[in-house]
Chains A and B, each alone.
Chain A
Amino acid sequence: MEEEDEEARGLLANGPDETGRDTPAALAAPETLPALCDPSRLAHRLLVLLLMCFLGFAIFAMIILPPFRLRLNGWGTIIFSCFICIGQVVFALGGIFNAYWLMEFGRFVFGIGGESLAVAQNTYAVSWFKGKELNLVFGLQLSMARVGSTVNMNLMGWLYSKVEALGSAGHTTLGITLMIGAITCILSLICALALAYLDQRAERILHKEQGKTGEVIKLTDVKDFSLPLWLIFIICVCYYVAVFPFIGLGKVFFTEKFGFSSQAAGAINSVVYVISAPMSPIFGLLVDKTGKNIIWVLCAVVTTLASHMLLAFTLWNPWIAMCLLGLSYSLLACALWPMVAFVVPEHQLGTAYGFMQSIQNLGLAISSIIAGMILDTRGYLFLEVFFIACVSLSLLAVVFLYLVNRAQGGNLNYSARQREEIKVSHSE
């Protein structure tokens, strides 16, 4: 624990002009680098943050599939970026040649890389920003992912119609549109290359030790996961199960129950993503400044519960409930994902994030099927009750997590001031 804090501090500590203390890491640098190029400086971290975000943009711009775990290091990330580029190109080729099996194969390849890249993104974020702006970083990553989704939803349709206007058959148009979309995957690959270079450079400059930043995933690490971590997993799965399948099935709900037109129903359905794009960084900053992650997660889960209850049991304008859902979804992402970094040692971080992504996707897959079955047999009210039950499970897990954290004296709910004090006391 001590040496990890040491190296984390070394990587993330401010330069001498910000705290008035010299860090041994900075003294070891052969020359003073400009702020943008110095890995120990905030400006450089922001550049890396930008690259990480665009890494995620491309993933979500092309929508992701279930994961396949491999060794993560700089090379691993580049390989996964290549996977998504190749996958997207094959997907587009399937469209051009009108071969559905080729499209499916392309999506499969894309999926191998896509989800693993998400894990890599999370691990990079913790590696660079733990103890500092981690919540803001997760917020921004989510934000960029949602921007990617929104861009996809709005742009691809328009792009398709433009390509169609140039005069080509249906499947060729689709293929060409997807090929143009593959450009964003190239962007992701460039970002992965840049990130790998910067990460290696930071290791070299700051003498970061190898193998301690969660680069290797070992499935046997799973047995070492603590109770708070399992509770975090449960919160994650039960929460997202009540958000994504609902958005998937929401359009007809708004059309039938509230009498919205098709376009209005589509707009209100996407408001969750539209809100989370700007609000995630703000909430991230908020959670960074105040700490107390568990309380924020509790707020987010309770708000989502309220939102689903409004949608299920009242005929109030659904914009209220959907805006609440968007806000709580952003808040949860900013407060929940960084908690993993607080309870897991750094060498297990990749495994932890990978596992979290994995079971989240499994939960989403299963619950999508269940949601469809419930809808066909029992209708929307029962479906909403099902989602409320899932959020309630998540709430139960949050409550347990709070109690366990209090009982064990854990650090999940520390305020930012308390975390600063811990860091200061460790450095003495």
Chain B
Amino acid sequence: MCSCEEPRRGWGRCAPSPMLLLSLLLSAAPLGLRGEDARQVSLEVIPDPTGPPENLLHIRAVGSNSTLHYVWSSLGPPAVVLVATNTSHSTLSVNWSCLLSPEPAGGLVVHPEDSVQFSSALVFTRLFEFDSTNTSDEAAEPPGKPYPPYSLAEWSWNNVTDSLDPATLSTTFRGHPIHDPIGAFANGSLAFRVQAFSGSGRPAQPPRLLHTADTCQLEVALVGAVPRGNRSLFRLEVATLGQGPDCPSLREHHSIDDEYAPAVFQLDQLLWGSLPSGFMQWRPVAFSQKQGGRESSLPCQVSPLYPTLAYLPQSPIVRAFFGSQNNFCAFNLTFGTSAGPGYWDQHYLSWSMLLGVGFPPMDALSPLVLGIMAVALGAPGLVLLAGGLFLLLGPKRYSEYQPIN
């Protein structure tokens, strides 16, 4: 019912759901970005016929008149290329020899090329670690004593074919650094669990992000790695391609509804253009326990986007699809603060996000809440009305006059 976009801590009123606006925008949107209720989803691990197996996962979500291609890979740093086309017959062609060469441009192509309505990419470049033991200021930058970051380009990953689950349309990329002198990841890993959806729904696992057929979900989980500090905070650096010269925009939605993510009233979005367009959506919360919950929730702070220089690890599949583009922008996600729950509790950290095209799904008040409110506000009014009528029209029971004797 009520999802509000407003400056932080403003006096603004809650705007009603923009259903009219939404329908107007939908009718004016390009075909590939209009959104579909259900899609046929297929997961395909594209093998490299020569050499050692490299992970290349192609998720193809086919709708009635559009297709979404998600190409996930751990070739280099973990990355995803997102392509939306306006036909249900578009296909992806992979040229492995080109992809594995020093100049991978042209190694990934979506056919027919003129059907591409939107395309962008996300690259998870580095994992930072800070020791926040002596940091009392929560907004300090950096949030603690920095350790040398882990560059995710130099990690070794499992074979995703092993963890592919067609029933839930999910698979997991699990990796650890190739060079690990202190053995921090001897029993630990960083996992990227990718899940696609054929329809709308909401998982039971917190933060219970509402997904549609136009989105896929990524869950990043750091499990078992030995932290280098006493109270280590982790930060994930994400790079993305901007549409045009500007960086994508970050938006924070403040809403009244925290039914599905208790005590989290905010929804963050990364938008690659004006809606409908590609988007990334997440709740600014991470969890330090597997089952999640209010007592194990960590705040997740996002930094503003900044244009990057070339020092960031490059992803071959991004270069394969987009050529040698330079308008990368990067942002950081910092999990936790020095006080409260943290990674140190159970050596577990998980954070989820949605990646999709079209209009980001928005939470609405559940029917239970609406029902209770209707009864709570209606019942006293009805009783007053009924009782008042009865008193006015019913028999007189008591006279205000007292008997003389």
Contact = CB atoms under 8 A, between A and B. Distances in A.
Majority SS at the chain A contact face: helix
B380 to A, nearest CB: 4
Contacts of B403: none
Interface residues of A, number: 37
Contact of A379 (B2, B258, B384): B258
Contact of B369 (A252, A253, A315, A382): A382
A370 interface: no
A399 B384 contact: yes
Looking at B4, B13, B258, B261, which has the most chain A CB atoms within 10 Å of its CB?
B258
Contacts of B362: none
Interface in A382-428: 382, 385, 388-389, 391-392, 395-396, 399-400, 402-403, 406-409, 425
Given A380-B262, A392-B379, A409-B397, A315 B14 contact: yes
B259 A258 contact: no
Interface residues of B, number: 44
A32 interface: no
Given A315-B14, A407-B397, A409-B398, A258 B260 contact: no
A316 interface: yes
B398 A408 contact: yes
Contact of B293 (A376, A388, A389): A376
Contact of B387 (A314, A317, A382, A399): A399
B373 interface: yes
Interface in B373-405: 373, 375-377, 379-380, 383-384, 387-388, 390-391, 397-400, 402
Interface in A249-276: 252-253, 256-260
Nearest to B388: A403
B263 A312 contact: no
B341 to A, nearest CB: 13
A385 B372 contact: yes
B145 interface: no
B22 interface: no
A374 to B, nearest CB: 9
Contact of B14 (A258, A313, A399, A402): A313
A403 B390 CA distance: 9
A260 B254 CA distance: 14
B261 to A, nearest CB: 7
A315 B254 contact: yes
Interface string B272-302: 0000000000000000000001110000000
A162 B221 CA distance: 47
A376 B262 contact: yes
Contact of A313 (B2, B6, B402): B2
B264 A256 contact: yes
A43 interface: no
A381 interface: yes
B257 to A, nearest CB: 6
Contacts of A315: 4, 6, 10, 12-14, 254, 256
Contact of B258 (A314, A380, A391, A408): A380
B265 interface: yes
Contact of A403 (B258, B261, B387): B387
Given A259-B9, A388-B373, A396 B256 contact: no
B398 A392 contact: no
Contact of B262 (A377, A388, A402, A406): A377
A376 B294 contact: yes
A409 B379 CA distance: 24
Contacts of A395: 380
A409 B400 contact: yes
Nearest to B299: A256
Given A257-B265, A376-B293, A399-B387, A381 B257 contact: yes
A380 B263 contact: yes
Contacts of A381: 256-259, 365, 369
Interface in A213-261: 252-253, 256-260
Contact of A408 (B12, B375, B397, B400): B397
A260 B265 CA distance: 13
A85 B186 CA distance: 60
Looking at A256, A388, A402, which has the most chain B CB atoms within 10 Å of its CB?
A256
A21 interface: no
15 contacts: A256-B264, A259-B8, A313-B14, A315-B13, A376-B293, A378-B259, A379-B262, A380-B258, A385-B372, A388-B373, A389-B375, A389-B376, A392-B375, A392-B380, A403-B388
Q: Which 3 A-B pairs have the closest CB atoms?
A: A409-B398, A379-B262, A392-B376
